[in-house]
Amino acid sequence: MTCYQCACALELLGMLVYVGAWLCALVTTLLPQWLTMSTALLPVESYEMGLWETCVVQDIGGMECRPYDSLLGLSSDLKLARILMCTSLTVGMLGILVAIPGLDLVYSCKGHSGNRTKRTLIIIGGLLGMVSGVLCLIPVSYMAHLAVVNFFDDKVPDVVPRWEFGESLFCGWVGGFLFIVAGLILVTSCLCYQVEPQHVVHRRHQVKNTDFNFRKHSEYV
């Protein structure tokens, strides 16, 4: 496999991971399973808390969700998590849109200066992906940290139910790491991209000129 083929393969792999990371971040933002809680008093019911609503889940399969009443009444933790997750999705989508024209399989920005532009777009898209991953990991890790601190708080009686990790936190961790991996893959693909050596290009021009002169001489003869 040549350097050019390796770069193309890394670009495609990076974009697939990029899209998968963005979908994971989207699912994390929308699902209400950020924190879960079950009580011994009501073993048939459990509670779930997300960024946009809280839900009551029953063992028989019923689920009732209720959105938060007021934006101003939210805690600062939920507000910060909302802002960072929405920013992560926005930056991630921007990175995907920037990186797509930079793919070598996409016919755009051809030519010597165009190749430099395409590599620049790929690098910018990769950097935006890494930034998006960090923005996604911050709220997820912070909410998990708060859950751990409150769970092991000695001041709270043991009979009081406590919030635990939900599925959305794990999905958010996966999405954040995939964002960073996708950005690294795209940046690495630019390092594998090898511009055609100048002496080979010069030799091709000489062969073309020689062939043209030979044809011209043959026409005169």
Q: What is the pLDDT of residue 16?
A: 95
Rounded CA separation 89/131 (Å): 11
Give 62's DSSP letter: -
**Six token digits for residue 133:** 């991953």
Q: Which CATH architecture has domain 3-32+75-220?
A: Up-down Bundle (1.20)
Maximum CA extent, the chain: 106
How far is residue 72's CA from residue 45's CA, in Å, rounded to a whole number? 29
Q: For residues 70 and 81, is the Cβ–Cβ distance under 8 A? A: no
8-state DSSP, 57: E
Q: Which residues pair with 35 in a beta bridge?
A: 49, 165
pLDDT in tens, the chain (221 residues): 576 677 788 889 999 999 999 999 999 999 988 988 877 666 667 888 889 988 888 777 677 888 887 777 788 888 999 999 999 999 999 999 999 988 877 765 555 555 788 888 999 999 999 999 999 999 999 999 998 888 877 776 666 677 788 899 999 999 999 999 999 999 988 877 544 444 333 444 444 444 444 344 444 44
Cα 221 from Cα 216, distance rounded (Å): 9
Which pTM does this prediction carry? Answer: 0.79
Residue 165's SS3 state is strand
